Amino acid sequence: MSNDQNNEIYSKAVRAGKRTYFFDVKSTKSNDLYITVTESKKVTSEDGYENYQKHKIFLYKEDFEKFKEGLEDVLLKIEELKGNLTD
């Protein structure tokens, strides 16, 4: 088992159309927690082979609150803009 798997505490997969988002809680050697968010998307190359494109971000404990505030802010703005579009 690799070290990356040893430090995984919790994982949540969210399937959304052609994409899957993985939210993983992991711990460092000093037992600090951090989150990785991975977007995985199945792509088919011109020769017909399927593979997965992955993009990952690391979110460290000192940034949790600011990340949460930023995400909440943009989600609220989207709801507000959607309301304005239907008026």
Which residues 6+ apart lie within 8 Å of 4 measured at CB?
Answer: 26
pLDDT, tens digit, for every residue of 35-63? 999 999 988 888 989 999 999 999 999 99
Lowest mean pLDDT among 1-5, 26-30, 47-51, 63-67: 1-5
Sheet of strand 50-60: strand arrangement: 8-16, 19-27, 33-44, 50-60
pTM over the 0.85 mark: no
Cβ atoms of residues 22 and 11 within 8 Å? yes
- Residue ranges and CATH numbers for the domains of the chain are 3-86 (3.10.450.700)
Cα–Cα distance list, 86 to 31, 72, 82 (Å): 48, 22, 7
